Amino acid sequence: MKLVASGQSLGARVEDLDLSKPLSDEAFKQLEQALGKFGVLSYPGQNLTSLQLKNFSERFGRLEVNVANLYQEPGLPEVMILSNMVENGKPLGLSDAGQDWHTDMSYSSMIAFTNVLYGIEIPHRDGEPLGNTEFCNMHAAYDGLPGELKTRLAGMTITHDFAKFWDKMRREKGSSRPALTDAQRKAKPPVTHPVFMTHPITGEKVLYANPGYSMRINELPQEESDRILAFLFEHQLQSKYQYRHRWSVGDVLMWDNMGTLHNAVADYRPDEHRYIKRCQVMANRYFEQAAP
């Protein structure tokens, strides 16, 4: 395989690797290191069955099965469909996944490691791809923080809540997602994670906060927490930290959820079709204690 760095804040392309074939241990280790270093990896020109997508993704950790039990590949609940396509009045997939800045599963006590997306239909207009996926580099965002804020926030924690993103999509983005029921809210109670994490692959510090799910810096009074979170959100989204993936059909795209934020750009119409298969990989390999 060949790794080609984008030369930007994030991103590398992996060439000459057929993901339908089993991955050697050596290739896996190389990809894991590259994912930590570059944050976002794309593998162009893939041709995968859902099972092959699942097998590749599973090398990186335990796969999440979405609680909603919706839009899953028949027989493969770990593979979910993201799509705006409708057939016989029925949506084929989740139509507005990730359409604001967030970090996958920061609301979960076992956070996410990587998300693996396989692009099967990509909307284009005037020859340009639509529905790009944007990222921000949280290694660089940590490094760029004022020194006194790094010191002040060291050891502090943030509460993350699944409902924040969901409610905002309904309230501000006209999403057709149904309101969360009390039972669903109870099933996903808020969780707490450190403001700064040591990244398990790079060994460097990252800023682990995101506008999608971060609610509160627990060790600070409400007012100060609000002010500092607003500062962190603005800081981490600066254009100098950003990178954008422009999709081609056949791309597999994976990103490191500990070292990046992302946003799905909703710039395509209902008749401009996007169809993507997704596996979500938990960070259990890094955070679960090995059996004694």
Q: Is 182 helix (H, G, I), strand (E, B) or coil?
A: helix
98 binding ligand OGA? (CB under 6 A): yes
Rounded distance between C-alpha atoms, residue 233 and residue 220, angstroms: 17
43 near 264, Cβ under 8 Å?
A: no
**In angstroms, what is the minimal distance from the CB of 292 to ligand OGA?**
35
Pick one of 264, 281, 282, 283: the residue that binds ligand OGA (CB under 6 A).
Answer: 264
Site map (CB under 6 A) of ligand OGA, residues 50-89, x = contact: --------------------------------x-------
Segment interacting with ligand OGA (CB under 6 A) among 3-11, 55-63, 97-105, 122-130? 97-105
How many helices (H) and strands (E) the chain has is answered by: 8, 20
Chain positions 99 to 158 lying near Mn ion, rule: CB under 5 A, are 104
d(CA 257, CA 125): 30
104 binds ligand OGA (CB under 6 A): yes
Q: Which 115-134 residues touch ligand OGA, going by CB under 6 A?
A: 115, 133
Q: 97 vs 153, which CB is nearer to ligand OGA?
A: 97
Show the beta-strand stretches assigned E in 208-259: 214-217, 242-245, 252-256
Per rule CB under 5 A, is residue 98 in the interface with Mn ion? yes
Residues 155, 172 contacting (CB under 8 angstroms):
no
Question: Which of these ranges, 74-82, 84-92, 93-101, 219-227, lies near Mn ion under the rule CB under 5 A?
Answer: 93-101
Contact pick of 31, 79, 278, 282 for ligand OGA (by CB under 6 A): 278
At residue 13, φ and ψ (nearest 5 deg) are -105, 135
CA 15 vs CA 9, 25, 26, 81, 270: distances in Å: 20, 18, 16, 25, 32
Closer to ligand OGA by Cβ: residue 217 or 258: 258
Residues engaged in binding ligand OGA (CB under 6 A):
82, 97-98, 104, 115, 133, 262, 264, 276, 278
Residues engaged in binding Mn ion (CB under 5 A):
98, 104
